[in-house]
Amino acid sequence: MTSLRITAALCAALSLCAAETALKLPAAPVAGATLAAALKGRATVRTLTGPGLSLGEAGQLLWAAQGENRPGHRTVPSAHARYPLELYLVTAGGAELPAGLYHYLPASHSLARLGDGGPDTLFGRVKGMQPWIKDAPAVFVMAGDPTRIERSGRDLTFYEAGAAAQCLLLQASGLGLGAGTAAGIDLDAVARSLDLPAGLLITTVLPVGRAK
């Protein structure tokens, strides 16, 4: 008898995650730091420490990058509303959110747990991984499927990913968190380490934590 397990590929391709495996996130508040204050405070921080993100912090960051701000539409514009992006969270864990790999489900504002291991494990096994990435309390991984957009899919996917990444970075600033955009890493190796579906291209890796 062939066993079936819910993997990143199944969740991304089919958007199916059993209710008992989905962790509902707190509703994202709309009040807080002004955009001007978040812009002024935005800076790349590579000296990150714990404690890990609370459920509310994780939910706010995920919502800012890919959440729904009205039914069927997200905080980031998408060509023909095709939404080619998938957002993943790798967390070292904390009091409210256990360590592991999670897939964000925008429609239900929830997290589907896909596997064990925090950034130190899942990123640490990638050859040449930078210490500030694998040692971060949380790492957000944005990936996209260009085939969801009919024309200029790759260009539009990366354009959308840039907008989503900036939203997450500004939200981190507004929450008083440190964050940065990782570069110079083997994205294909990261995709294999996270067991992402074939066809998904990692566009952005964003470590987040408390500034030391």
> Percent of the chain scored above 70 by pLDDT?
91
pLDDT at 116 > cutoff 80: yes
Q: How many CA atoms lie within 13 A of 180 on its CB side?
A: 17
Q: Judge contact between 112 and 6, C-beta under 8 A.
A: yes
Confidence of residue 9 (pLDDT cuts 50, 70, 90): very low
Global pTM exceeds 0.85? yes
The 8 Å CB, 24+ separation contacts for 74-82 are 74/106, 75/167, 76/160, 76/163, 76/164, 76/167, 77/160, 77/163, 78/160, 79/149, 79/152, 79/156, 79/160, 80/149, 80/150, 82/148, 82/149
Contacts of 113 (CB under 8 A, 6+ apart): 21, 23, 98, 100, 101, 102
Name beta bridge partners: 73: 70
pLDDT at 109: 97
Average pLDDT, the chain: 89
Contacts of 183 (CB under 8 A, 6+ apart): none
In degrees rounded to 5, what are phi and psi of residue 14?
A: -110, -10
Q: Scan for tokens 């904390």, then name that residue.
A: 94
User: What domains are defined for the chain?
Assistant: 48-211 (3.40.109.10)
Q: pLDDT tens digit string along 153-163?
A: 889 999 999 99
Q: pLDDT tens digit string along 50-65?
A: 999 999 999 999 999 9
